[in-house]
């Protein structure tokens, strides 16, 4: 209002041919008078007068400024959940010509350059004769406290349009932008690999990401054909099950437990699943999560169409110790008279060991209950279309409540390499489907245990232009060596067992004599 008055005074005096010095002097004196009057009103007038003046000023500003502004923030809510509308708008604006903006940001997407609108740059869009303006802004949150971390900022897209077009923009134009942006994002989607951050500087769900470019697929995985088909069919059923899950009253999610010896392809299978479904991957490092509340914040920050992975769940945290100790204490009360002194000492020693292990993990206070709530609690239904995958080398160490059906719906054992897996690896590494040495490999695979990772390492050429037969002979030699090692190990265990048995027989008569004497 004051600015409009200044402009009006300037134009009026200019028409009267008043020189510039007199014009600015007149404007300055009147502006000072207005500010003085406003200061007196604020100091001496009642609060009701202030509110009335502010209300009239707002109405006058709305009358003078005939535009409507809408903000679309990148993150929403106290848990900084990603706003899908912001992402759709970004995709929509990227598809438009960028010759209007003078400041752009260049990013490499799938080996091609993509130009994005930089902050404070305007983009004019027209749809069915209606003109709107988009701009990317950054709202900085100022803090009074001294901190080593930068102040938190919030990016948002600002949409400006004439208030006369409000109904059309809200009901038609914005729906058009969001639908177009969603389709563009799906067609040109660049999938990402997320991991949880450490420290308190990043409050936006505490996720950081890189571009996910893992080449693994079900065509390249060394796995039994029937098991592979079973997994693919289950994934297809899940991806098309939105209405089914809604009908049965369950969140749209599914849990997989991958277990087996190291080197059997658990991580490769996770990548193949993500590539098959075209989902993002969220790899959670539980040792970096301090509390159950922080774990819940991570869950809220996970978007739909995602694979949530916790690798080596048995080694991440000691989540089962307290639960087992409680059950042992409960059984101890019922069977107190049946246990001897030796068993009590063993239980006490194990409890001390569990406490020591728990003290080592004091930095993380995530409990088994918190992890169970993360998997299938009330908060887990906040985002649909989500896979949760656990991997482990020792499935027997996991708590039964953690891997029961309904949490880990499908248990997938990845064992040692079979002949079907070998043929897949031979096709991937040497581009052959058959060879005279295949029968020898088949017989050796049936007699010994070797992981797909070891098979792949032996099939991989060690020198340039290495022939196929050399690689196969190297694999055969490795299989024979593994067979011999397993045979020697078995003989050693048998001999050790026989020695223990002989010692027991020697000591038994002496015990019998002692008992007789007593």
pLDDT (tens digit per residue) in 490-499: 778 777 766 6
What is the per-residue pLDDT for 291?
86
pTM score, whole prediction? 0.68
**30-84: pLDDT as tens digits:** 778 877 777 777 777 776 676 777 777 777 766 777 888 999 998 877 666 778 8
Among residues 255, 250, 249, the alpha carbon closest in space to that of 273 is found at 255
472 secondary structure, DSSP code: H
pLDDT of residue 127: 92
> Residue 234 above 60 pLDDT?
yes
Among the listed residues 383, 384, 377, 381, the one whose alpha carbon sits nearest the alpha carbon of residue 407: 377
Put residue 241 in one of left, alpha, beta given phi > 0 → left and psi -120 to 50 → alpha.
Answer: alpha
Number of neighbouring beta carbons within 10 Å of residue 235: 20
Contacts of 209 (CB under 8 A, 6+ apart): 192, 193, 194, 195
Task: Tell me the pLDDT tens digit for each residue of 185-228.
Answer: 877 777 889 998 765 544 445 788 888 889 999 988 888 888 99
* Other residues' Cβ atoms within 10 Å of the Cβ of residue 156: 19
Question: Does the structure show a pLDDT above 80 at 381?
Answer: no
Residue 326 structure tokens = 């409680």
Q: Pairing relation of β-strands 112-117 and 122-127?
A: unpaired
CA 412/CA 31 separation, integer angstroms: 78
pLDDT band of 137, cuts 50, 70, 90: confident
Residue 71: name the closest of 158, 6, 181 by CA.
158
> Is a pLDDT exceeding 60 seen at residue 323?
no
How many angstroms separate the Cα of 62 from the Cα of each of 3, 32, 49, 144?
15, 25, 20, 33
pLDDT tens per residue across span 143-182:
544 443 344 568 899 999 998 899 999 999 999 999 999 8
Mean pLDDT of the chain: 78
Q: Is the dihedral of CA 474, 476, 482, 485 positive or negative?
A: negative
User: In which band, very low, low, confident or very high, does the pLDDT at 324 lie, cut at 50, 70 and 90?
Assistant: very low
As beta bridge partners, residue 256 has 389, 410
Rounded distance, CA 181 to CA 518, Å? 90
Judge whether residue 257 has pLDDT over 90.
yes
Q: How far apart are CA 86 and CA 177, in angstroms?
A: 11
**Which of 119-128, 143-152, 475-484 has maximum average pLDDT?**
475-484
């Amino acid at each position: 209002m004051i600015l409009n008055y200044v402009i009006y005074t300037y134009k009026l005096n200019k028409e009267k041919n008043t020189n510039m010095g007199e014009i600015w002097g007149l404007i300055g004196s009147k502006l000072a008078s207005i500010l003085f009057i406003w200061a007196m009103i604020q100091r001496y007038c009642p609060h009701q007068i202030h509110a009335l003046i502010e209300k009239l000023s707002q109405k006058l500003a709305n009358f003078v400024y005939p535009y409507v502004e809408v903000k679309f923030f990148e993150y929403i809510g106290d848990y900084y959940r990603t706003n899908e509308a912001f992402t759709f708008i970004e995709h929509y604006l990227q598809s438009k010509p960028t010759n209007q903006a003078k400041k752009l940001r260049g990013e490499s997407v799938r080996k091609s350059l993509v130009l994005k609108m930089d902050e404070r740059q305007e983009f004019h869009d027209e749809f069915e004769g209606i003109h709107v303006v988009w701009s990317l802004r950054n709202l900085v949150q100022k803090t009074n406290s001294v901190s080593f971390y930068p102040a938190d900022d919030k990016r948002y897209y600002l949409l400006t349009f004439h208030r006369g077009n409000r109904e059309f923009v809200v009901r038609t134009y914005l729906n058009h932008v969001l639908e177009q942006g969603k389709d563009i994002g799906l067609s040109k989607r660049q999938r990402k690999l997320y991991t949880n951050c450490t420290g308190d500087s990043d409050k936006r769900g505490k996720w950081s990401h890189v571009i996910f470019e893992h080449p693994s697929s079900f065509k390249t995985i060394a796995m039994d054909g029937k098991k592979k088909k079973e997994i693919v069919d289950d994934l297809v059923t899940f991806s098309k099950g939105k209405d089914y899950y809604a009908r049965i009253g369950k969140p749209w999610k599914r849990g997989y437990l991958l277990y087996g010896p190291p080197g059997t392809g658990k991580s490769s299978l996770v990548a193949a699943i993500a590539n098959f479904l075209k989902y993002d991957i969220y790899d959670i490092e539980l040792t970096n999560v301090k509390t159950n509340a922080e774990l819940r914040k991570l869950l809220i920050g996970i978007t739909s169409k995602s694979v949530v992975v916790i690798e080596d769940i048995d080694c991440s945290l000691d989540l089962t110790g307290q639960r087992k100790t409680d059950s042992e204490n409960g059984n101890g009360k019922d069977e107190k008279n049946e246990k001897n002194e030796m068993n009590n000492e063993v239980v006490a020693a194990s409890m001390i060991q569990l406490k020591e292990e728990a003290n080592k993990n004091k930095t993380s206070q995530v409990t088994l209950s918190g992890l169970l709530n993360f998997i299938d609690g009330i908060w887990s239904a906040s985002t649909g279309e989500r896979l949760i995958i656990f991997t482990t080398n020792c499935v027997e160490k996991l708590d039964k409540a953690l891997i029961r059906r309904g949490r880990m719906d499908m248990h997938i054992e990845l064992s040692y390499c079979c002949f079907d897996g070998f043929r897949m690896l031979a096709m991937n590494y040497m581009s052959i489907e058959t060879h005279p040495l295949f029968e020898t490999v088949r017989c050796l695979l049936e007699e010994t245990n070797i992981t797909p990772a070891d098979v792949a390492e032996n099939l991989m050429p060690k020198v340039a232009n290495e022939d196929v037969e050399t690689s196969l002979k190297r694999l055969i030699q490795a299989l024979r060596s593994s067979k011999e090692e397993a045979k020697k190990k078995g003989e050693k265990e048998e001999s050790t067992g026989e020695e223990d048995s002989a010692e027991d027989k020697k000591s038994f008569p002496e015990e019998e004599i002692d008992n007789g004497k007593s």
